[in-house]
Amino acid sequence: MTSPSQDGRNLAPRAVCDSQSQMTEVILPNDANPLGNLLGGRLMHLIDLAGAMAAHRHSHSHVVTASMDHIDFLQPVHIGDLLILKSSVNRAFRSSMEVGVKCWVENYIAGTTCHVASAYLTFVAIDETGQHHPVPCVVPETEDEKRRYEDASRRREARKQEQERRKAQIR
């Protein structure tokens, strides 16, 4: 049994499937450039929202985006396309969570889907006063979840090293 944290939060470990989230968006002219392709910044906004959903559900808390890792736009997305974004919490640390978001475009005429982008984001759980606080651990169950859980630690170390390197460059 996990005891509640000092502020009474329930820190019992949670399964990945408990917070997995999905968003579907129809791409409209307002989301696109003059050639009718989805704007990269708009896709990043949707990725941020989809990622936050999983982080909110896992932590039962307000969250802020601390970082978004490298993102490649693999295929153009067009006006009228159905964009599907799936998010899951790969691992929780103390107050932060790594969330993976994968995006597909669905061609509902042909019945096919195509992977268009993926990103890892780190969200930090905060209270109403903006203080960060501990979050429950993640329990990976499937083989894929276990792999992502292990990889998340390596990515966190890489992020920290990169942050240190950038700080040293600024000094």
Ligand X SMILES: CC(C)(COP(=O)(O)OP(=O)(O)OC[C@H]1O[C@@H](n2cnc3c(N)ncnc32)[C@H](O)[C@@H]1OP(=O)(O)O)[C@@H](O)C(=O)NCCC(=O)NCCS
**Residues near ligand X (CB under 6 A):** 64-67, 93-96, 122, 124, 132, 159, 163
When the beta carbons of 3 and 129 are compared against ligand X, the nearer one is 129
Q: What are the tokens at 148?
A: 């992502």
Q: What are the tokens at 42?
A: 């708009």
* Whole-angstrom distance, CA of residue 141 vs CA of residue 146: 7
The least CB distance from residue 125 to ligand X, in Å, is 9
Q: What are the tokens at 135?
A: 């979050």
When the beta carbons of 22 and 153 are compared against ligand X, the nearer one is 153
When the beta carbons of 45 and 146 are compared against ligand X, the nearer one is 45
Please say whether the beta carbons of 29 and 94 come within 8 A: no
When the beta carbons of 60 and 94 are compared against ligand X, the nearer one is 94
What is the chain's alpha carbon radius of gyration, rounded to the nearest angstrom? 18
The least CB distance from residue 94 to ligand X, in Å, is 3
Please say whether the beta carbons of 91 and 152 come within 8 A: yes
